[in-house]
Amino acid sequence: MGAILKDLLKYNIEFRVGSMLIAIVLVMSALSFVSPYPPSDTFVVAPDAPPSAAHWFGTTSRGQDVFWQLTFAIRNTLAFGVLVAMLSRVLSLSIGLLAGYKGGWIDRILMSVNDTFIVIPLFPILILFYFVLRDSMSTLLLAVIMACLGWAYDARLIRSVAMSLKAREFTQVSIYSGMTTREILVREHLPYVMPIVFSTTMNNMNWSIGLEVTLAVLGFMDINSPTIGGMLYWANQHTAVVAGIWWWIAFPIALVVAAFVGLFLLAVSMNEYIDPRSRLARMGGGAR
Amino acid sequence: MGDYIRYAMKRLGQFVLVVFIGVNLAYVITHATPIDPVEQSISASTSFGNAAPEAIAEMRRSLEELYGLKGSWSEQYLAFWSRVIRGDFGPSMSAFPTPVSSLIARAMPWTIGLLVTSTIITWALGNYLGALAGYHQRSRALKAFGLAAMGLHPVPYYIVALVLLIVFGYVWPILPISGGAAMNMPQGWNWPYVASVLKHSALPALSLILIGLGSWFLGMRSLVSNIITDDHVVYAEIGGVDRRRILRSYVMRNALAPQLTGLAMSLGGIFNGAVITEKVFGYPGVGTLLVDAVYAGDYGLVLGVTTVSIVGVSLGVLIIDLIYPLIDPRVQVD
């Protein structure tokens, strides 16, 4: 693991930039634990103050310090992304590995369902959920719903790896030594798909955070717990752009974009590392 | 030809399955509600303004059928499906008594126009530039474009649309930031109206294109940089085939097939983006209709738009699947 990290840092500029951006985002969210203001209190500082030494990122029209508010917002937003990614990994791993290993009609049924979830436009479905549940729609429930909707694309990737693993000799050996399907999948095949799981985790987090921000900005979420989308929602409610309070919009957007680009770059560099052709090319040993 | 028919039938089967699962999903979601939606909806819509009693009865009937609260379980389910198949979602509550179906029919051309144009531009431009970047790997301009694509691609639609709105609405106001055409202009196929429509769609289309371009560019670039080391390309180069012809017929043609599959797979996501972009720019399509319907608590309209989008997107995927053999004649019958 340490050697892989060293390699990536040395040869891969995407990895370097990506980990730097994510480090900034992580430091920001860690700072929320030492915030002088509780996250949901309003009018604790003078409203509408531009960035200054006392308030680095200025203050909002609701009398909140943008910097400290942002630390809570990015922490909650990241936690949401991690939760959705973890839950949907369980689904995509079990379905992908099972479909790839079993093949036959199990594979066909699972992949038909899988393709359906890839095709269906999820945003209207999520809006329908919010519309029906209204105030009972909590962040946790939204995470579970999104995990149930967002596993399909990655399950297909994992399945394709599992299919090639099935043809390898060690799978035959495991079958002859009497391992159950579950044991083969968990102990033998899971380690091989872990690199893909890592890179898809980053992309899945981007997907879920993007949707969360969007839903919150439209007000289709619990907007009172501070998230990046929630901050933008309140800024829009107070027409911050028209009022010239640009710092209320600009800093949340800058930070969340840093998170998106960072996660994406990490996923790209992981993918490159998995694919030996592009890794060789980068180290200068490739055909071109 | 027999192969094609078999292939087409399989894709058609998948289309039916997608619509079936999608509509069932909508059915299950609307039945998970803890509140009595019919009474709530009716009291909300009749609290202001006095509607005719017959109209209210008509609305109650369609709401009860849509929510499936009347009769036994199987009757409820069948009534729901028959309404979905007839495309009859009852009268809208927020625009009472206009039927939901005519509201959707009015908004549909806007969304289809915006979505189809921007998707085709994005896909063609992204793939072309990506192929160039994969083929001419030393070009500085294309490398810079690749960096920009990497920075822009992971950002969600809403953020880009908001930034464009701020830039072109307040910092440098040269383009209209809201609406589908100039106000008080009679609709028709005349140049001033078409020009106004084009001008109003510039920003929504631009934000869809900016976000979409990156993924096609990056995908095509990596596909092409793998293909150019293939034997048939090396052979053509040694044989002195014109380099433009190599790129066009030897490289791009091979790389387009997976990109077309990619387009079919990401159509749902592109539609999601269009919904959000429309709302940001107040574009009069189904996205704005959907979001406003939620604000207004218009149940029939929300369910109608959701169902129509599921059917519409799967129809788009089906069309792409059916023209796929034209790009890649090796139709996979697995």
> In CATH, what number is assigned to the domain containing residue B241?
1.10.3720.10
CA distances (Å), B100 to each of A38, B33, B79, B94, B282, in order?
Answer: 45, 21, 17, 10, 19
B154/A264 CB distance under 8 A: yes
Q: Report, in this order, helix, strand and coil percent for chain B, each rounded to 5.
A: 75, 0, 25
A124 closest CA partner among B309, B265, B280: B309
Q: In sequence order, which residues have a C-beta less than 8 Å from that of residue B232 and are 6 or more positions away?
A: B250
Rounded (10°) CA dihedral B228, B232, B235, B237? -40
Of A241, A263, A288, the CB nearest to B229: A288
Of A136, A219, A263, the CB nearest to B154: A263
* Residue B55 token pair: 């109209």
Render B209-250 in DSSP notation, one character per residue. HHHHHHHHHHHHHHHHHHHTTSHHHHHHHHTT--HHHIIIII
Distance CA B91, CA B301 (A): 8
pLDDT confidence tier of residue B34, bands split at 50, 70 and 90: low
Residue B251: inside a domain, yes or no?
yes
Q: What pLDDT is stored for residue B124 in this prediction? A: 92
A128–B contact, CB cutoff 8 A: yes
Residue whose entry in the numeric block shows the structure tokens 């640009």 = A246
Distance CA A128, CA B71 (A): 24
Within 8 A of B279 by CB-CB distance, chain A residues are 218
Q: In sequence order, which residues have a C-beta less than 8 Å from that of residue B294 and are 6 or more positions away?
A: A127, A130, A131, A220, B302
A264/B150 CB distance under 8 A: yes
Residue B131: inside a domain, yes or no?
yes
Distance CA B102, CA B90 (A): 10
User: Is the per-residue pLDDT at B334 higher than 50?
Assistant: no
Please count the residue pairs, one from chain A and one from chain B, whose beta carbons lie less than 8 angstroms apart. Answer: 135
| Choice between B39 and B295, residue whose per-residue pLDDT is larger | B295
Q: What pLDDT is stored for residue A84 in this prediction? A: 93
Shortest distance between the Cα of A129 and any Cα of chain B, in A, equals: 6
Q: What pLDDT is stored for residue B299 in this prediction? A: 78
Q: What pLDDT is stored for residue A87 in this prediction? A: 93
Closest residue in B to A250 (Cα–Cα)? B163
**Based on the structure, what is the number of domains in chain B?**
1
A11-14 CB contacts, 8 Å cutoff, 24+ apart: A11/A279, A11/A282, A11/A283, A12/A269, A12/A272, A12/A273, A12/A282, A14/A265, A14/A266, A14/A268, A14/A269, A14/A272, A14/B150
Find the mean pLDDT for residues B4-32: 85
B17–A contact, CB cutoff 8 A: yes
- Cis, bond preceding B97 (omega within 30 deg of 0): yes
Distance CA B313, CA B15 (A): 10
Q: What pLDDT is stored for residue B172 in this prediction? A: 81
Which one of A13, A128, A153, A220 makes the best mutation probe of the B interface by having the most chain B beta carbons within 10 Å? A128
Within 8 A of A242 by CB-CB distance, chain B residues are 170
A206/B157 CB distance under 8 A: no
- Can you give the C-alpha Rg of chain B in angstroms? 24
A257/B294 CB distance under 8 A: no
Residue B11: inside a domain, yes or no?
no
B291–A contact, CB cutoff 8 A: yes
Average pLDDT, rounded, for chain B: 81
Find the mean pLDDT for residues B78-93: 80
Distance CA B153, CA A257 (A): 11
Provide, rounded to the nearest whole percent, the portion of chain B with pLDDT above 70: 86
Q: In sequence order, which residues have a C-beta less than 8 Å from that of residue A219 and are 6 or more positions away?
A: A233, B295
Residue B4: inside a domain, yes or no?
no
CA angle at residue A193 from A187 to A195, to 5 degrees?
125
Residue B203: inside a domain, yes or no?
yes
- Please give the biggest Cα pair distance in chain B: 82
Are the CB atoms for B275 and B286 separated by under 8 Å?
yes
Q: What pLDDT is stored for residue B37 in this prediction? A: 61
Distance CA A89, CA B232 (A): 39
Q: Report DSSP state, residue A65.
A: B
Provide, rounded to the nearest whole percent, the portion of chain B with pLDDT above 90: 5
Distance CA A89, CA A81 (A): 12
Find the mean pLDDT for residues B196-225: 87
Are the CB atoms for A77 and A227 separated by under 8 Å?
yes
Q: Report DSSP state, residue A225.
A: S
Enumerate residues 31 to 50 of chain B having a beta carbon within 8 A of any beta carbon in chain A.
32-35, 37
Q: What pLDDT is stored for residue A282 in this prediction? A: 58
Instruction: Characterise B182 by phi-psi region: left (phi > 0), alpha (psi -120 to 50), beta (else).
Output: beta
Shortest distance between the Cα of A182 and any Cα of chain B, in A, equals: 27
The domain locations on chain A are: 66-226+239-255
Residue B160: inside a domain, yes or no?
yes
pLDDT confidence tier of residue B85, bands split at 50, 70 and 90: confident
Of B30, B295, B310, the CB nearest to A120: B310
CA distances (Å), B102 to each of A28, A129, B95, B244, in order?
Answer: 49, 24, 11, 50
A284–B contact, CB cutoff 8 A: no
User: Is the per-residue pLDDT at B129 higher than 50?
Assistant: yes
* Residue B260 token pair: 């077309």
Residue B7: inside a domain, yes or no?
no
**What domain range includes position B256?**
104-327
The identity of residue B133, as a single letter, is A
Distance CA B256, CA B326 (A): 11
Distance CA A247, CA B311 (A): 42
Q: Report, in this order, helix, strand and coil percent for chain A, each rounded to 5.
A: 75, 0, 25
> At B305, is the secondary structure helix, strand, or coil?
helix
Instruction: Write the ipTM.
Output: 0.81
Q: What pLDDT is stored for residue B1 in this prediction? A: 66
A124/B305 CB distance under 8 A: yes
Q: What pLDDT is stored for residue A21 in this prediction? A: 92
Pick from A270-274, B187-191, B213-217: least confident:
B187-191
B309–A contact, CB cutoff 8 A: yes
Within 8 A of A256 by CB-CB distance, chain B residues are 159
A127–B contact, CB cutoff 8 A: yes
Distance CA A123, CA A129 (A): 10
Does the domain spanning A66-226+239-255 belong to CATH 1.10.3090.10? no
Q: In sequence order, which residues have a C-beta less than 8 Å from that of residue B203 and are 6 or more positions away?
A: B164, B165, B168, B175, B176, B177, B281
Q: What pLDDT is stored for residue A286 in this prediction? A: 41
Closest residue in B to A272 (Cα–Cα)? B222
User: Is the per-residue pLDDT at B46 higher than 70?
Assistant: no
Buried b (16+ CB within 10 A) or exposed e, A162-190: beebbeeeebeebeeeebeeeebbeebbb
A277–B contact, CB cutoff 8 A: yes
User: Is the per-residue pLDDT at B175 higher than 80?
Assistant: no
B297 closest CA partner among B51, B37, B32: B37
Numbers of helices and strands, H then E, in chain B? 13, 0
CA distances (Å), B55 to each of B45, B59, B90, B93, B305, in order?
Answer: 12, 6, 11, 11, 22
Are the CB atoms for B21 and B307 separated by under 8 Å?
no
Digitized pLDDT (tens) for each residue of chain A, 288 residues in all? 677 777 777 777 888 888 899 999 999 888 888 877 777 777 777 777 777 777 777 777 777 888 888 889 899 999 999 999 999 999 999 999 899 888 889 988 898 888 888 888 888 888 888 888 777 778 888 889 899 888 888 898 888 888 888 888 888 888 888 888 888 888 888 888 887 888 888 889 988 898 888 888 888 877 777 888 888 888 888 877 777 778 888 888 889 889 989 998 888 888 777 766 666 665 554 443
pLDDT confidence tier of residue B121, bands split at 50, 70 and 90: very high
